Amino acid sequence: MRFGYERFAELDEQALEEGWPPGWRMDHEDREANRQKILAGRLKTDLWVFAYGSLIWDPAVHVTEYRHGFLQGWHRSFCMRLEGGRGSHDRPGLMAALDEGGQCDGVVFRITAGLVDHETKFLWHREMFAGAYEPRFLEVDTPQGSVEALVFVMDRSNRRYVPHLDQEKAAKMIAIAEGGLGSNFDYLHSLVGHLNELDIEDREMRQLLERARVHR
């Protein structure tokens, strides 16, 4: 999931051909302005990033160190409507995001200072592709002590936010959604598999996977 502007160009052409609605992705200028704003004063120091979804197994940036991470006040939730990648406009899927309340186990990874400016451009291409996340710096507990980490949480003002979605409905959406990157079910399956490998307990994700499997 490390891509440059050529991938945006391909998708822009597809969007034009298929008549996707306006605002399906974030403008390049707005994305870069957001990166500069969020990382102001931090581009020449080591950067910690909290991963709770596919960043766990596919960060697509050069990582120097990994740690187990625990974030208080936010929980992992399939609360973002997905109309591309692993979903479509006809059969939208759902993407994992962080929503307010509860807690979340994941990992934090460190990008060394000399690479932060370069590598976060790719990180913003990926995480802020549609502008549906809100980047924040939050305190994350690790076995080696707490760190201030960059965290991409759900932007509740974004049109893609689908709060309080019934788990059965979410499971059905995930079971049948598919896009250019593959099936939505495979994403959920991979997420649960990697959480298992890391001995991270998330009962809701496991239940969601089992319900989605029924609708395959």
For the cut 70, the answer to whether the pLDDT of residue 141 exceeds it is yes
Q: How far is CA 86 from the centre of its chain?
A: 13
Report domain extents, the chain: 5-214
pTM here? 0.91
Q: 18 pLDDT band (50/70/90 cuts)? A: low
Residue 17 has a pLDDT of 65
**How much is the mean pLDDT over the chain?**
92
Residue 28 has a pLDDT of 87
Buried b (16+ CB within 10 A) or exposed e, 160-183: bebeeeeeeebbebbbbbbbeeeb
For the cut 90, the answer to whether the pLDDT of residue 139 exceeds it is yes
The residues assigned a catalytic role are 127
Q: What is the CATH number of domain 5-214?
A: 3.10.490.10
Give the burial class of 18: count Cβ atoms within 10 A of its Cβ; 0-12 exposed, 13-18 middle, 19 or more buried: exposed
For the cut 90, the answer to whether the pLDDT of residue 90 exceeds it is no
What is the CB neighbour count within 10 angstroms for residue 7? 14
Q: Which amino acid is at 11?
A: L
- CB of 156 closer than 8 Å to CB of 31: no
What span, in angstroms and rounded, lies between the C-alpha atoms of 109 and 88? Answer: 31
